[in-house]
Structure 1
Amino acid sequence: MGKAPKTLFIVLAFFSIYVIWGSTYLLNKVAVSELPPFMLAGMRFLTAGILIFGICKVSNIPLKITKRQLLNTGIAGFLFLTFGNGVIVWALKYVDSGFAALEVSAQPLVVLLLMRFLQGKKIKAMSIIGVVLGIIGIYLLVSQKQLISKENSVLGIVMIFLCMVSWAYSSLFVAKASLPTNYFVNTGYQMFLGGIMLFILSLLFGETWTLPTTWSSPVQLSMLLLIVFGSIVAFTAFNYLLKVVSPEKVATSTYVNPIIALTLGWYFLDEEITTQSMVAAAVLLTGVYFINTTKKIAIFNRFSNKLARKTPNE
């Protein structure tokens, strides 16, 4: 793959995880108002996985993988989708879509801390500032009385945080794990296996299953968009980025996701955007910037040193 096509793929992939995933909070909120959460998420990912397998067959893309790769895609499917996404969908029954997106915007902080504790990566000064700002932002976000006074909202907040830990750990796991080399195949197996595990959870929790023909039009449209764009397109882009850029950079999707989610939740669902939420968002996103700005400074310094070494005759 040439440099220009690869750059284009990276740009389009970032657009997918920035904008498309930002809209999934609204789509899930609409769907979970009518459907049980684990059935909803299970149908979304299992359907997307089967569609991906079908596309691979038509495109003559081999689906054969090793036992190790099957195990690893199952682990990633559980961490990313069964727990990481399914529980967030459940939590959306009790918290606003914009609030959930704002809380998830602290994910780069969780990634950084896990890299420190699990991989021994040193936290640099700029990143420490980001961690402090992130903690302050989270406190401002979850300490709003009008939000935490809602039924089961505190439980929803805690479960979303655990989902962030699950996503962060899985991001580090897939960056080094043996997975199918084709990103489409990788995504298909993660969604297929994650979807099966979600349906198992749905059965264990005694959820009532319904056919799509019985759903309202908004829920049908939401599920269609979640399957095609939120699952197949965005998650394939996500897996692609995890292999070609660092996990911290992939986590920067949280710069844009909460802004998209807050705007759509406010416009379509009349969700309240409080002043404290706006302040919390500003503090959190500033913290995320500081966490990810260290590498930018290093790149700038290398570029400056290179220029300084050049002689006037060069």
Structure 2
Amino acid sequence: MNNASQNTHRSGGLLLILAFAAVYLIWGTTYLAIRYGLLGIPPFLLIALRYIFAAIILFVGCLVARLPLPNRYNTRVLSISGLLLLVGGIGSVVLGEQYINSGNTAVIIATSPLLFLLVDRKNWKSYTPTKLAGLLLGFFGVFLFSRLNGGETSHDPVHRWDTLKGTGLVFLSTLFWVSGTLYARKQKDNHASPVANTAVQHLAAAAACCFIAIMKGEWQSFHPAAVPVAAWNGLAYLVVMGSIVAFMAFMWLVKVQPPAIVSTYTYVNPVVAVFAGWIIAGEQVGLAQLGALILVLGGVLLVQAKSLPLLHRFRRQPRCEAGS
């Protein structure tokens, strides 16, 4: 019995490590995968293909495992939240990455916890000097990172305008992401599988992105034979690793770990993205930019200061939840 329990504990610990590694590393490198996908696939067509393939895989998984689907009301809520999260949120990221690099993108997205504090009215009463300082520090860090832009002088007006457009689009994506997350709270008595919920969101987003791609002429001008292998690899990585593996790992972590522990991916993803872009794609990263990154992460830590004492509890904590 002792040996069996030890083996179970070890396998559970290994699974926990692998799940965190997936959320930290995979989500941190999806920004770079988007950059590669854009090498040969237009923006909205890229995410349309990503969502189509992901939705098919998720729905097939639901059918095989006979997972419960959401009811009509929750399907509508999930569809709208999917449009906000995946079309508005990820769509703006893909558009923005046409003008700025993946590291810059990830640093801007790291401000999401700061925007949750600003947008969600439930948080307004909890404002403290520490949280206000965190907000100012985080946004100032993003401003510095964008201005420095990999150590380049940025005196060229075209380059500066591109940087401004990219930064604005990615920042807009965080607003869409926060809005979509808050709207998803409108679900009522949803006993459907999280996999099914995500499948519905991806299907709604796929339909919307296909329509946008058609209206923009991206489908008509798309020639698969002309797409480089690197772009197809980027798309495959986004579908399999980003939308399937990392998501499954995240949903499992939410069930077995406290939210404060799971949310640490917010701090790790930008660091992974910056160094992945530097090592793999040769994106320039200067010491001043790293300092700006530290300011952003410091601001997020200050905003979530109440959660910090929980960080020493980095161990598996199963919890019983309704419908789980």
Find out whether 1:273 has 2:277 as its counterpart: no
Match of 1:100 in 2: 105
What is the rounded CA distance, in whole Å, between the counterparts of 1:180 and 1:206 in structure 2?
A: 40
Counterpart residue type for residue 135 of structure 2? V
Q: CA deviation at 1:86?
A: 1.2
Match of 2:317 in 1: none
What is the rounded CA distance, in whole Å, between the counterparts of 2:84 and 2:256 in structure 1?
A: 20
Match of 1:227 in 2: 239
Match of 2:47 in 1: 41
Q: CA deviation at 1:212?
A: 4.7
1:81 to 78, 86, 96: 86
What is the rounded CA distance, in whole Å, between the counterparts of 2:237 and 2:25 in structure 1?
A: 13
What is the rounded CA distance, in whole Å, between the counterparts of 1:105 and 1:269 in structure 2?
A: 21
What is the rounded CA distance, in whole Å, between the counterparts of 1:60 and 1:148 in structure 2?
A: 58
What is the rounded CA distance, in whole Å, between the counterparts of 2:310 and 2:261 in structure 1?
A: 15
Q: Is the 8 A contact 2:29 2:272 kept in 1?
A: yes
Instruction: From the superposition, tell whether residues 42 and 217 of structure 1 become closer, same or farther in structure 2 (CA, over 3 Å).
Output: same
Instruction: From the superposition, tell whether residues 296 and 98 of structure 1 become closer, same or farther in structure 2 (CA, over 3 Å).
Output: closer
What is the rounded CA distance, in whole Å, between the counterparts of 2:280 and 2:75 in structure 1?
A: 40
Instruction: From the superposition, tell whether residues 298 and 219 of structure 1 become closer, same or farther in structure 2 (CA, over 3 Å).
Output: closer
Map 1:71-150 onto structure 2 (within 5 A). Answer: 71-115=76-120, 117=121, 120-144=124-148, 146=153, 149=156, 150=159
What is the rounded CA distance, in whole Å, between the counterparts of 2:37 and 2:27 in structure 1?
A: 15
Map 1:258-269 onto structure 2 (within 5 A). Answer: 258-269=270-281
Match of 2:70 in 1: 65
Q: Is the 8 A contact 1:175 1:242 kept in 2?
A: no
Match of 1:50 in 2: 56
Match of 2:320 in 1: none
Match of 1:167 in 2: 177
Structure 2: runs of 5 or more not aligned: 1-8, 313-324
Task: Describe the superposition over 1:112-171 as per-residue Cα deviations: whole angstroms up to 9, x where unpaired.
Answer: 2123x3554412343223112112212212233745852522111111111111112222
Match of 1:304 in 2: none
Q: CA deviation at 1:218?
A: 1.4
Instruction: From the superposition, tell whether residues 158 and 138 of structure 1 become closer, same or farther in structure 2 (CA, over 3 Å).
Output: same
What is the rounded CA distance, in whole Å, between the counterparts of 2:99 and 2:40 in structure 1?
A: 13
What TM-score do you get using the length of structure 1 for normalisation? 0.83
Aligned residue for 1:61, secondary structure, equals coil
Q: Is the 8 A contact 1:17 1:237 kept in 2?
A: yes
Find out whether 1:157 has 2:167 as its counterpart: yes
Q: Larger deviation: 248-257 or 179-188? A: 248-257
Match of 2:211 in 1: 200
Q: Is the 8 A contact 2:117 2:124 kept in 1?
A: no
What is the rounded CA distance, in whole Å, between the counterparts of 1:177 and 1:133 in structure 2?
A: 34
Structure 1: runs of 5 or more not aligned: 301-314
Match of 2:3 in 1: none
Q: CA deviation at 1:60?
A: 2.2
Aligned length: 295
What is the rounded CA distance, in whole Å, between the counterparts of 2:134 and 2:218 in structure 1?
A: 41
- RMSD (Å) for aligned C-alpha atoms: 2.9
Counterpart residue type for residue 285 of structure 2? I
Counterpart residue type for residue 171 of structure 2? F
Aligned residue for 2:176, secondary structure, equals helix
Q: Is the 8 A contact 2:39 2:230 kept in 1?
A: no
Find out whether 1:287 has 2:293 as its counterpart: no
Instruction: From the superposition, tell whether residues 105 and 252 of structure 1 become closer, same or farther in structure 2 (CA, over 3 Å).
Output: same
What is the rounded CA distance, in whole Å, between the counterparts of 1:120 and 1:88 in structure 2?
A: 27
What is the rounded CA distance, in whole Å, between the counterparts of 1:231 and 1:160 in structure 2?
A: 19
Counterpart residue type for residue 94 of structure 1? Y
Instruction: From the superposition, tell whether residues 247 and 114 of structure 1 become closer, same or farther in structure 2 (CA, over 3 Å).
Output: farther
Q: Larger deviation: 246-255 or 95-104? A: 246-255
Match of 1:191 in 2: 202
Counterpart residue type for residue 198 of structure 2? T
Task: Describe the superposition over 1:190-242 as per-residue Cα deviations: whole angstroms up to 9, x where unpaired.
Answer: 11111111111112222245365542221222111110110122234456667
What is the rounded CA distance, in whole Å, between the counterparts of 2:87 and 2:66 in structure 1?
A: 29
